[in-house]
Structures are given as C-alpha cells and as structure tokens.
Structure 1
Amino acid sequence: MWFCRLRSPRLAMMWASSWCSPMRIDGRRPRARVAADMRGDFEISRIIASTFLTMSLCWDSSGSLIVAIGSSRATRVRESRAAPPHDQRQSRFGGRTMLRTRMADSTGSLRPVPAVEKTARILRALAEGGRPQGISELARALKVSKGTLRDILLTLDSHGFVVRDPDTRFRLGPQLRALADASSPDLRALAQPYLVSLMETFGETAILGVPHDGKLEIAARAEPTSGLHMSAPLGRRLPLDAGAHGKVLLHGEAIGYDDQELFRGVRAVAAAVTDARGRRVAAVMVVGFKERVDLRTLRRIGERCATAAVAMSRRIGAPARDEAVSA
C-alpha cells in the first residue's frame, strides 16, 4: 500500500477521479487502435479502476489528509495480519490497516554516521597521543583499514584540521584551535551572574580578573549601588604576582586570602577558574574595606568564591579532578 498527502478532500477526489477518465494514446482513444492495443488498454483501465476502488481518505496523527491506495482485499488481509517492522507505525481507517514509515527526521534514536565517527576517533587519538603519528600506528590503535584512514587524514589535511609532517606522520592542525576558540564561551558574560550573586550576598564588590601581558586585568565586575564600597574600573590592571589572585593563579592555592597585602585597608579573597585543559585562566574575587569585612566574613566569602569558580569551570569544560575545591 502507498499513500500521498493532499491539502483537502476536494483535491483528493479530483485527483482520484482523473485516474478513471478515458485514456488517449497518440492523440486517439483506445477504440481507434487495433484489437491487441484495445485489450492492453482495457487491462490498464481495469487496473486503474481496481486501484480507484481501493482508495480511501483518512487523516494522520498530525491532521494532514492522506489518500491511501491499497491492493486487493485478500492482500490487505495478509498485510494486516503480518507483523509490522520495528520502525513502522500503524493507523486504522474504516477497518483497514495502513503501514506508515516513521519520518526520516525523527530524533528519537542515535544513528551514527560511520565516516564521521571514524573521523572523531582519529582526532581524539591524535590529541591523546600528544605527538605526531603515522598511518600504520593509528590503524592498529583504532582497528580501521589503512586505506580508509589515509583518505580521512588527507581530507582533514586539506581543511587544516591535521598537518602532514615531512616524515608522513600526522598531527593536529591549526584550524582545530580556531574551532575551539569559536566555541569557547565569553568569560565576561558567563561570570556576570555569579559576580552579581556574590555582590548581593555580601554587599561588596565582586570582580573577574583575567591574566593579560603579565598583569591581572579587571574584565567584569558587580558593584553595590549604594554604601561605601571598593571601586573596580573595567580594564584596570593589577600586579599578577601579588594579592589574593596571585596566590591562586601563580601559586596554585585553592583559595587566596589578602589581608591588606596589596592595598592598605583592603581585604580580598579569590578562587581560580580552570578551563578544559586544567589551566587557571581567571580569578573570581571579592574585595572590601577592612572595616566592613572581618576575617571570619572573609573566610565565608572565600568559600562562596570557590563555589562560583567551580561552577564557572564546569561551564567551560574543566576536568572533574579540578572541580573539588577545599576551603
């Protein structure tokens, strides 16, 4: 059985009735031809008429009109009794069973594309290997044929995703870095909700600092709208090897505390944000005057900074081993 989709019952019946109109062959009706041709024409007309008698109108689950064209009753009975394939659905109309194939754009299950899957495995193997590798070595490790592997590698080479060295070994290419940079989230936009939360919780200025040219640049901030508080102009640069941020970015501490070390009368606390490669790429900080932030409060703020830094690190793909931050 097969069926087609029409917009209205009127169009469906007009289309169906056109099948039963007298046939013209070479501009003449069948009776103008020889007896043999007439018998052939009659057989064609009989088939068309028989098909028309098996046609019916129904609506699918989306409400679209369908004209169903079936075979003889005996055949339909056999079809209705047969078990449908796993990837087909059944709908009934007037006691008749119609088999309908699932739409091709269904996203219910994953159907991997072999060539894409092999390409992903090749790129991952080159990345995890940490060095250029030859076709034979990769073929053994991935258990794929050398011919297929060679074709994929040369295609990737033409796009700059891998590079072929003079010794015919392959390594990752520069275009992968461009793709990675394009997919990296904007740390400034990512950090803003966390900075606002820290500022609103403790009433002090929250900062995102990013290392740049040997300095720490203030890339984002959240300042209280009233009351005495520290000001943090965007773009301002601080020494990278001092203060709370220096302790977490350069010295690897989980939480860095600054009790009037960088600026007199100012206390600060920082926690590092790590990227997918485990690098410490930014610092979440809170700064305030010593009269407003005692040492006990500074510890509490430090714990919240560490929690915010871990959450941000997850968002940019930090490894799981860097997610545990101890206070």
Structure 2
Amino acid sequence: MKLLLESKKPIADGVVLLTLRHPDGHPLPAWTPGAHVDLELGDDLVRQYSLCGDPHDNTVLQVAVLREPDGRGGSQYVHDVLTAGQLIEVHGPRNHFALVEAERYLFIAGGIGITPILPMIAEVAAAGHDWRLVYGGRTRSSMAFLDELEPLGRVEIRPQDEAGLLDLATLLGEPAPGTAVYCCGPEGLLTAVEQHCAQWPAGTLHVERFAPKPDAAQGPRQGFEVELSQSGEVLRVEPDESVLEVVERAGVPVLSSCQEGTCGTCETVVLAGTPDHRDSVLTDDERENGDVMMICVSRSRSPRLVLDL
C-alpha cells in the first residue's frame, strides 16, 4: 500500500519520527504491539522499522528511525532524502515480537530499541498488569520518547554517560517465575541479557534484533532441492547460493528486506522437508515446528524442501 508521509520530525539526537497515513483517508491495517512494517525507500532499498504509535489508532502509522552512519543506507535515506508529502510503499504490518500473557513484565530497551516497547507498555498498563522498564542509551539527549515515558513512574532512565552500563547482574540475577522479559536494542545488550536469563524458566525471554545473532548463519552448506508447490517447479540450491537468490532468479517474486535473517519479511511456509534455520527471528518452538523459514539465510537438512511458493 502507498502511504503519505504526513510528517517527519526530530525527537532525539539522530532520531526522526515518521507519521504515515493513507492519502485518501482510508483506515490502515490493524497491528499489535511489537509489529513492524517494511518501507520501500528506493530501488532495492527496503527496510523494516518497528511501529511505535497507538495500535488503536487506525488513521496513522508511526516509526522512529535512528541515523546509522555505518549502516546499509536505509537510515541515511530516511534522514537525508525523505520529505513530508512523499508517497511511500509500505508492506505489513508483521509481528515476530508479540506480547505473551504473563503475570508481570520486565522491559529492557537500549537506544532505538525503545520503539517496539512503547506500545507494549501502553497495552500492559491499560490491562492493569505489573510492569517495569529499564531504558539505557548513550546520552539522555539521544534517547527518544523520554517525555512520554518519565511521567509513567515505573521507568528507570539510565544514560550511559551518567549511570554507566545497565546493571543486568542485579536486574536479572534472580529468576522471577511469571515474569516475561522483553528486550530490544544493540547486539551487545541482547547477548548480555540472554546470558543473564539462561537460568530463567524457558520461554521467559523475548528479544528482537536489528542485526544477525552472532554465528547464526554458520554451519555446513550442502546443496539441496526446493520444490515450488504452486507451480511444481524444482530448483537446485547450490552451497554458495541462498534459497531466496535461486527463487528470485527463477522469476518468482518474494518480498525481502534485510537478507540477513533479522526482519522476517521473507518468511515462507514449508510444506515438506526439514529446514536448517539460520535466522535471528524465530523462537525455539517455531524452529522445532519447522513450518516456516526465512529463505534469505536458512537452508535444508533434507534433500528437498517443498515451499508454498
């Protein structure tokens, strides 16, 4: 769908908030906290951003974008090229970071990782659940949405230049049954939180990554076959190729974005065969089920996969 960029405004150092609405005023698709959308920013430039607005407002979608000088060009395009009044092709929303039912919630955000956490907090607070947010960043001026968060009373703001790194040892030292832990932010934070939560009950921790999990795509790279169920065509995937590359070369359109297993855009239904999951999106249970895979990085443990393409 093509949406109008209604406004683009700075909300922190290096962060802009984009507000999108339908050019004809039509209602926008429903979404739930933790969801993201894919923005087509230019030729072969598709990027995903977490929705940070109000899920109950179907008139606009909002995303916050951090300028990343060492990124792959998407954030620089948003900051330097996009202007209010432009039409942007938007895909989604999709959600691989959904809220689960829990007695209480501990949210840990690092930098721009606050974006998917915002609507989560609004939902659990409205439902009367017990919750707490610990929010770290480089400096106070670099941390978005402080004005909205600080009055809530259950929020700990921890700029690194004032308070140092987050004290995860104290925060996560004792497992708390019944607590769902949600974390989004840079890889260093996610890895540390995963390590500290290793002794917590299974299923406690939920993370969303902006970059691939270290060594996620490592492993043997044998060739295998992919059968496209909708046409019956059988394609060969060589060790140096991805399923996505082979499928696209065969002329089958597949929406993709990150091509590194972090966004979930290329998620494809598996009808037969055993995927070799190498993404950074699926949960352990989803991997065990084996009924979907990210074809940009994941491979096959069986001689053939049958995909719903």
Q: Same fold (TM over 0.5)?
A: no
Give the TM-score, by structure 2 length.
0.24
Higher relative contact order structure (alpha carbons within 8 Å, sequence separation ≥ 6): 2
- Greater radius of gyration (CA): 1
Q: Identify the structure with the greater strand proportion.
A: 2
